[in-house]
Amino acid sequence: MVQRSAMMLTLVFLAAGFSSAAEKLTLDLEKSKIEFVGTKPDGKHEGGFKKFTADATADMENPESGSLEIVIDADSLWSDDEKLTNHLKNPDFFDVRKHPKIMFKATKISHSEGEEKATIVGTLTLLGKEGEITVPIVAALTETTVTITGEFKIDRTKWGMEYGQGKINNDVAIKTVLVMNR
């Protein structure tokens, strides 16, 4: 019950970007993480991004109009293998020279009253292409922080990342933990 209340309160905070009572949240980069897991028939690799920013606002009065915008520094990419990191930065995958930023902008935040989870629908800009994604999230609220955890999958080919189709699975699992100070 406490968790559910915290969840609802967090969403209320998040969802009020345009209200006069909007509260701006500040990302705590050290505690936050954006990671991915790429899989292939005989294994998997983990990776993520070390640098990113997030602009989020929250308001208790207007939950549906919150805002969340994440900008990832693509060159901060890391993985569990040095050679793979090298390959992932190249045009076969993230093409970090040509597309140094990966962006996500929430367009809709929805939450059914009484539910513990919520959904953020937004636009992911990757490799210069925009695609809509739906991210189920769990949010936790304390007196000083708001923590949003999201786990979802994207089809990388939707953004033109087509290298290794057949050898590397198209679906990439993504896990985000955004810790934001109030």
Partner 1 sequence: MERDIFLACVLTPAIISLAFALVIRLTRRITRATVRERTASVLATTGWCAAVSSTLLLRQDIDFAAPEAWQQIIVPITVIAAVLVLMTISTTTLASEWVRDIRWVVAGIGCVVVAMMVMPAGDGWVDMLPEHRGWIASVTAASLLNLWSLDRLARSGATTWVLLVVLAGLAAPTMLAASAYAGLAEWCLGAIIATMVFALFAIMDRRSMAWCSLVPAVLFATSATASGRFYTYEVHPRGLYAILLLAPTLIALPDFMLRNRSTWVRVACAATIAMSVLGVVAWLLLGDALFANPDEESW
Q: Which is nearer to partner 1, 29 or 84 (CB)?
A: 84
Residue environment code for 60-78, b if the CB has 16+ CB neighbours within 10 A, otherwise e: eebbebbbbbbbbebeebe
Q: What is the C-alpha separation between 11 and 123, in angstroms, rounded?
A: 19
CB of 89 to partner 1, least distance (A): 6
Q: Which is nearer to partner 1, 99 or 117 (CB)?
A: 99
Length of the chain (residues): 182
What is the total count of residues that contact partner 1 (CB under 8 A)?
A: 25
Q: Torsions phi, psi of 80, nearest 5? A: -80, 5
Binding mask 64-83 toward partner 1 (x if CB under 8 A, else -) reads -----------------xxx
Q: Check binding of 86 to partner 1 (CB under 8 A).
A: yes
Q: What is the C-alpha separation between 172 and 38, in angstroms, rounded?
A: 5
Residue 179 near residue 41, CB atoms below 8 Å: no
Binding mask 91-130 toward partner 1 (x if CB under 8 A, else -) reads xx---xxx-x------------------------------
Q: What is the C-alpha separation between 32 and 179, in angstroms, rounded?
A: 5
- Residue of 137, 143, 153, 157 whose CA lies nearest to 54: 137
Q: Which of 9, 37, 103, 163 binds partner 1 (CB under 8 A)?
A: 163
Q: Which of 7, 12, 25, 89 binds partner 1 (CB under 8 A)?
A: 89
Q: Check binding of 164 to partner 1 (CB under 8 A).
A: yes
**Contact residues: partner 1, CB under 8 A:** 38, 40, 43, 45, 81-87, 89-92, 96-98, 100, 160, 163-164, 166-168
